[in-house]
């Protein structure tokens, strides 16, 4: 997973790490985070951010090595989920309609009233659950390995492509630790985070079109190609 990082995002990451590791020292958490994105120190990270935003890979082993040396063994995926929560947080602040369903909630909730309001709140809060954090990473595993084009691809919506992301695990057995389901709204959130251009299919649709390459989308339906692309196994 590539993390898009700038100085403005650091406070949210620090807060989410504090929530995930409340008994550890602040200095341990932030220094472990710096190692977890392959910097030698937090100071080196801050210096690099002065030159502008960064795109970095998460390094669980480096985070855990430093953290264990100065604190306790973290539970699996605690580090990644904390960082993902910090990634999702601003997306919800700037996309008030975004829910795990997509843009809004299904018509069955009435479009207004207590049932609708309750489901809006529930489905937005669900983004921060462990399962949705894992879904976000599975969606990014697909999206960050695709090419983009200048125009929206109207051959498939977010709902169709979220199934393609699911099949990385479900059908092809890659990164099964992330589960085999991606909610439509989580897919939209991941695409938004990664800088894709998105547009609702129509005014009342839950789904979105995005500017993903048609060739990339089709390649991700080829089991051998996917396993080669994501694991290095020969075709």
What are the tens digits of pLDDT across the range 54-78? 999 999 999 999 999 999 999 999 9
Mean of the pLDDT values across residues 89-117?
Answer: 95
Residue 234 has pLDDT above 90, yes or no: no
Mean of the pLDDT values across residues 41-60?
Answer: 97
pLDDT (0 to 100) of residue 52: 96
What are the pLDDT digits (tens) for 165-183? 999 999 999 999 999 999 9
Mean of the pLDDT values across residues 190-198?
Answer: 98
Residue 235: pLDDT band (50, 70, 90) is confident
For 211, list phi and psi in degrees, rounded to 5: -90, 60
Burial zone of 93 (CB within 10 Å; 0-12 exposed, 13-18 middle, 19+ buried):
exposed
Beta-carbon contacts of residue 39 (< 8 Å; ≥ 6 apart): 45, 48
What are the pLDDT digits (tens) for 118-164? 999 999 999 999 999 999 999 999 999 999 999 999 999 999 999 99
pTM over 0.85: yes
């Amino acid at each position: 997973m590539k993390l898009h990082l700038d100085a403005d995002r650091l406070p949210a990451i620090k807060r989410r790490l504090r929530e995930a590791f409340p008994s550890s020292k602040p200095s341990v958490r932030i220094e472990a985070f710096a190692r977890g994105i392959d910097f030698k120190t937090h100071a080196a990270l801050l210096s690099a951010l002065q030159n502008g935003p960064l795109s970095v890979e998460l390094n669980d082993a480096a985070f855990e090595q430093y953290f264990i040396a100065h604190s306790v063994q973290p539970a699996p995926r605690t580090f990644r989920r904390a960082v993902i929560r910090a990634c999702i947080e601003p997306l919800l602040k700037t996309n008030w309609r975004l829910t795990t369903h997509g843009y809004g909630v299904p018509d069955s909730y009435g479009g207004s009233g207590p049932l609708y309001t309750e489901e809006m709140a529930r489905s937005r809060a669900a983004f921060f659950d462990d399962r949705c954090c894992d879904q976000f990473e599975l969606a990014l595993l697909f999206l960050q390995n695709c090419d983009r084009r200048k125009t929206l691809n109207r051959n498939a919506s977010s709902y169709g492509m979220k199934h393609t992301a699911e099949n990385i695990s479900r059908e092809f057995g890659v990164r099964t630790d992330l589960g085999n389901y991606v909610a439509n709204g989580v897919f939209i959130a991941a695409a938004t985070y990664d800088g894709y251009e998105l547009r609702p299919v129509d005014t009342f649709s839950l789904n979105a079109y995005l500017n993903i390459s048609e060739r990339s989308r089709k390649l991700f339906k080829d089991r051998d190609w996917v396993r080669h692309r994501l694991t290095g196994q020969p075709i």
